[in-house]
Amino acid sequence: MDRLKAMHTFVRIVEANSFTKAAATLDLPRASLTATIQQLEAYLGTRLLQRTTRTLALTSDGTAYLRQCQAILAAVDEAEAPFRASAERPRGKLRIELPGTLGRNWVVPRLGEFHRAYPEIELVLGLGDRLVDLTREGIDCAIRVGELQDSAMVARRIGNMRFLTCAAPAYLAVHGTPATLDELARHNAVLHYSGRTGRPFPWEFLVDGAVQRIDMRGAVAVNDADAYLSCGLQGLGLIQPGAYLVRGHLARGELVALLADTPPTSLPISLVYPQGRPVTPKLQVFTAWAATLFETEPGLCADGAALSTDK
């Protein structure tokens, strides 16, 4: 029995949560995978998977062995990657999950340059704000905005999303322009709530190096960034969109930036992929490309460049 191959087979079965799906991914007969797992369990002297006709679950020993396999396979891949990458041209299908708004407005419009550089890579993109399980759904990597919760992911910081507090001139003409956070709290806001949690995103500001949260009220709440911006442009309340989204609106006078000396808190932008999965040449080149993706936009770059709110 090739133990390294058996480990790889075991990991792929767990990731796919199915012998049949793993067999299709590995291009092997299902019976071959079943025999490999039986041999592996016999060699280890323990049951790794509880199997029925409908379900597949790890045993406690299987969970512990999975972690060891992922670490070993990652170490092998790291040792081989420099040599393999120099000889292997990036090609094949690369599945990527993107945040909906950032993907539509920034990443997708720039994919042409990546495709021209690597025409043999087939990109399969998912856009949305659902927290996708990359391992279970067979996703190679994802770009995520916000603090990361999943410690089973390898993460690389590639940007920093900054926000601006703004309003339409029509709103300010009726309600006045807030000059302090205390005044801001007395205004109406368009509330942007998470489709995942159902809760509004908080309004948080950096004040003397500390985070101060303002509880805003509003008559309109939406769970879509485009609708959120549209409500703000119509004067339905103050908004706090991503700075990169409103640069043109500010320049045309359709929005006015507020409280320039009291910026909202920012959120990290990270590229993540599952631990223990081989870092293929196609993933390597996409990771390198994504690391440069936000360098030219002050509202997204990672280095803290000054963010201008001038028209």
Range of the domain at 76: 3-87
Same domain, 157 and 282: yes
In-domain check, residue 251 = yes
Same domain, 156 and 185: no
Neighbours of 28 (CB within 10 A): 14
How does residue 82 score in pLDDT terms, banded at 50, 70 and 90? low
Same domain, 8 and 46: yes
* pLDDT, tens digit (0-9, with 9 covering 90-100), for 10-68: 999 998 888 988 888 888 899 999 999 999 999 999 999 988 777 889 999 999 999 99
Which CATH number is 58's domain given? 1.10.10.10
DSSP secondary structure string for all residues of 105-136 = IIIGGGHHHHHHH-TTEEEEEEESSS---HHH
pTM: 0.69
Same domain, 235 and 171: yes
Query: What CA–CA distance (Å, rounded) separates 158 from 268?
Result: 8
- Residue 85 in this model has a pLDDT that exceeds 60: no
What stretches of the chain show up as alpha helix (H) in DSSP? Answer: 3-16, 19-26, 30-44, 60-87, 100-102, 111-117, 134-137, 169-175, 181-184, 225-233, 243-251, 281-290
In-domain check, residue 152 = yes
In-domain check, residue 23 = yes
Whose tokens are 């993907």? That residue is 103
In-domain check, residue 297 = no
> What's the number of domains the chain is made of?
3
Cα 135–Cα 141–Cα 145 angle in degrees, nearest 5: 110
Same domain, 181 and 243: yes
* pLDDT, tens digit (0-9, with 9 covering 90-100), for 127-142: 988 888 888 888 899 9
Instruction: Return the C-alpha torsion angle 282, 285, 286, 287, nearest 10.
Output: 120
* Pairing mode, strands 153-161 and 217-222: unpaired
**What angle in degrees, to the nearest 10, is found between the helix axes of 243-251 and 225-233?**
30
In-domain check, residue 76 = yes
Neighbours of 208 (CB within 10 A): 6
Number of H helices, E strands in the chain: 12, 13
Q: How far is CA 183 from CA 175, 188, 209, 231, 261, in A?
A: 11, 11, 20, 21, 15
Which CATH number is 196's domain given? 3.40.190.10
Q: What is the average per-residue pLDDT within 193-214?
A: 87
Which pLDDT does position 88 carry in this prediction? Answer: 66
In-domain check, residue 306 = no
Neighbours of 53 (CB within 10 A): 4
Same domain, 25 and 153: no
User: Of all residues in the chain, what percent carry a pLDDT higher than 70?
Assistant: 94
In-domain check, residue 301 = no
DSSP 104: I
